Chains A and B, each alone.
Chain A
């Protein structure tokens, strides 16, 4: 039986019909689509058992306690820790990004040296250590150390290395802790000021941005959350005084608009009203203080700080009626405030009987230093980096021959950064211990990569703002993903080669000694436990330091016609981390669009300046200038322009670099009369159309 062409075609037609009635074409189509899931660039999950490690964030300035979720040995996510006293079930936008930041494209992956032609050259750790050792030896006593870590014992190591070389120049990057330490020292106090917000029944934050940047933010937020149950009446009243309705003001039960940098004046106004109603303090200089406070009548406070007299009186009356009121003072952007601000706030607390009482202000004991030649916390907190750089610039102190930066980014993060960078630029040898290729690292001769907090051992001792003594360990939860070495280990090795006797061979020994000095149990710390204590530091002869407040306020610069109010938000990062990539999504439409940032002012200010929403403007003063677009927001005081911090990086990665401009360019440094402390929380500005 032969098959002719027609028969064959019939066969094919039949086969085609038959195939269509089978799973073959449909299954192959389906499989082809599933097969596309195997393309090599599609990420793959790697299975493994879930586990959780409790640790503390060394990246977030609020020292967030957190749980890291691991799958197998890989960290995949940071979660809140319900039982941690530094977080109490919350997490910050910065701590939440820690795992992601381990893989950040801007991490320094190996030691680098800056070659003469401006290129970075990868070098070995041996070569890097040798270069560091030789330059430190050459510098002798002309060496300065700058730390970006406020709570770690590494500061004892850094300050000890400075001292062993014959230098006093160890500085911590500016924050709230310096004015607080100086203020308490001026009061003849011992220990560190601590604020028991959780047990208070009336919280008045003057400037202190307690839900965003002041103190242990998560612990503050937990106290706020507890006292503000959903759909129920708040049990504790929170009041915020400041120039911008920032996150703290937005959450507070009452926002009291007050000019930027006028925190001490508001506090003195309240002190005056309290004294008038019969409050007093058993302090040697009370009479002097009373006379000083009497000058700050509600009318004067209104003129200087822009606070309505009736509202000042109402808040004072509420404070007097409360059982456990607390007044918190600070800078609305976490730095640059004067000593007088803290002194005036502490005086109000004393007038309210809140000093040393539950729900009030306490003096917390700090663990003694463990490295004999190092500086203890209160000693190092009183050192003023901005003043030091200015004195070098003015030729009042000699230029150091070497500067060591430990996880600090002063080239971006200091006020008048261009001027500060110019000073640092003249230092013959600069070395940065850093995790990221930040602005300071890029200006250094030697860049040494450090493991991140999730990859190393580190510690946290009583962060500023917390109401009880604390000690805890940050533990490595994952192997270091770069060729990094903990800075402490490198420094100890170099110190040994320079014949410095620090008394310890390893950082772990230093941490063990510190834990013991703090009263903590090392074994339980290693298991993720933490140490807290309600002990307080004994005081004798506490003064109000009225003379210091008087001098500072008398010489305070008059507020400009138009001033800027920097606004800090943790999701936009810190100078040390820039904007973590995921957090770009959390930046709002009228905060940043592509590379252009927005500044906010109220409608009246905009009308007066003759600018419209979205219009491009130039803000300038004697320190520098920035450009931005206008957003209209009625939560800004009249004649004030709110500017977000954290933009305008010139280093890091595509997620941060070139996004907006750096508000620090406009912050002009001044010096507080009476203390000499550098301040930059008041800045006048001119606006023109760009």
Chain B
């Protein structure tokens, strides 16, 4: 029977075989790989949009502006996503292009009058009040020199040149989007002293949490 010794007399111990700092570093590397590489994949589930929407086709080929669909109403509220009814102003009976997704959109949504349950990359919880009207070209460009795309992409994914709608990552724990902005991201502007001086974009709780 093998003799198990805590302190082998021959000095040729197992700790010397797998000894010193090696286990520590193995653990460290495993954790770093898990934390930085595997964990995000485990935390988020990948979901595709119900219909593929090409912003590129609409902007480059159809020469539309972002504001053709994502516009402000007369009362100052932001329209957000267009309804099926507004899409049907162009996509009604016959598909305009050859993309099978467009044909599917007409068949499944326009003809049935159903709304598309788009995944919103930037959706915020209900306890956050965000007004697009206060974050407009007019207010931000009083100092900056943003283009519309630059301003929007401060928070949103820049989809203008994308042919495929980006994958939506849903946090399995919170059920919110991966792109949902966190308080610190809002505070990049709101906590900036110069912003407060110019736009009165106070960092007080009630500015966003109503």
CA distance A366 to B25 in the complex (A): 94
Question: Chain A, 44-85, contact with B by CB distance < 8 Å: what is the 0/1 string?
Answer: 110101101000000000000000000000000000000000
What residues of A have a CB within 8 angstroms of the CB of B75 in the complex?
Answer: 50, 52
A16-34 interface (Cβ within 8 A of B): 16-19, 21-24, 27-28, 30-32, 34
B127 within 8 A of A: yes
> Which of B28, B80, B83 contacts A14 (CB under 8 A)?
B28
Q: Is the CB of B35 within 8 A of A22?
A: yes
The answer to whether A18 and B15 touch (CB under 8 A), given A10-B21, A42-B126, A50-B75, is: no
Q: Is the CB of B35 within 8 A of A21?
A: yes
CA distance A4 to B7 in the complex (A): 12
Q: Is the CB of B15 within 8 A of A24?
A: no
Q: Is the interface of A mostly helix, strand, loop or mixed?
A: helix
B146 within 8 A of A: no
> Which of B23, B79, B173 contacts A31 (CB under 8 A)?
B173
> Which of A11, A22, A34, A45 contacts B26 (CB under 8 A)?
A11
What residues of B have a CB within 8 angstroms of the CB of A17 in the complex?
Answer: 24, 27-28, 31
Q: Is the CB of B23 within 8 A of A22?
A: no
> Which of B15, B17, B77, B127 contacts A6 (CB under 8 A)?
B15
CB distance from A9 to the nearest CB of B (A): 8
Which among B92-100, B101-109, B174-182, B198-206 touches the partner chain? B174-182
B32 within 8 A of A: yes
What residues of B have a CB within 8 angstroms of the CB of A2 in the complex?
Answer: 14, 17-18
Q: Is the CB of A14 within 8 A of B24?
A: yes
Q: Is the CB of A27 within 8 A of B43?
A: yes
CB distance from B36 to the nearest CB of A (A): 5
Give the total of B residues in contact with A, Cβ under 8 Å.
38
Residue of A nearest to B127 (CB): A37
Q: Is the CB of B29 within 8 A of A11?
A: no
A554 within 8 A of B: no
CB distance from A45 to the nearest CB of B (A): 5
B188 within 8 A of A: no
CA distance A31 to B175 in the complex (A): 9
Q: Is the CB of A43 within 8 A of B126?
A: yes
Q: Is the CB of B27 within 8 A of A16?
A: yes
What residues of A have a CB within 8 angstroms of the CB of B32 in the complex?
Answer: 18, 21-22
B11 within 8 A of A: no
Q: Is the CB of A3 within 8 A of B23?
A: yes
Q: Is the CB of A12 within 8 A of B18?
A: no
Q: Is the CB of A18 within 8 A of B28?
A: yes
Name the residue in A13, A14, A27, A34 with the highest tally of chain B Cβ atoms < 10 Å from its Cβ: A14
B125 within 8 A of A: yes
Beyond contacts A2-B17, A21-B31, A34-B174: 12 other A-B pairs, Cβ-Cβ < 8 A, are A4-B15, A10-B21, A10-B24, A14-B30, A16-B27, A18-B35, A21-B32, A22-B39, A24-B34, A24-B39, A30-B182, A42-B126
Query: What are 19 A-B interface contacts by the 8 Å CB criterion?
Result: A3-B18, A4-B14, A7-B14, A10-B21, A11-B26, A11-B27, A13-B27, A14-B27, A14-B29, A17-B24, A18-B27, A18-B31, A18-B35, A22-B32, A30-B182, A34-B171, A34-B176, A37-B127, A49-B83
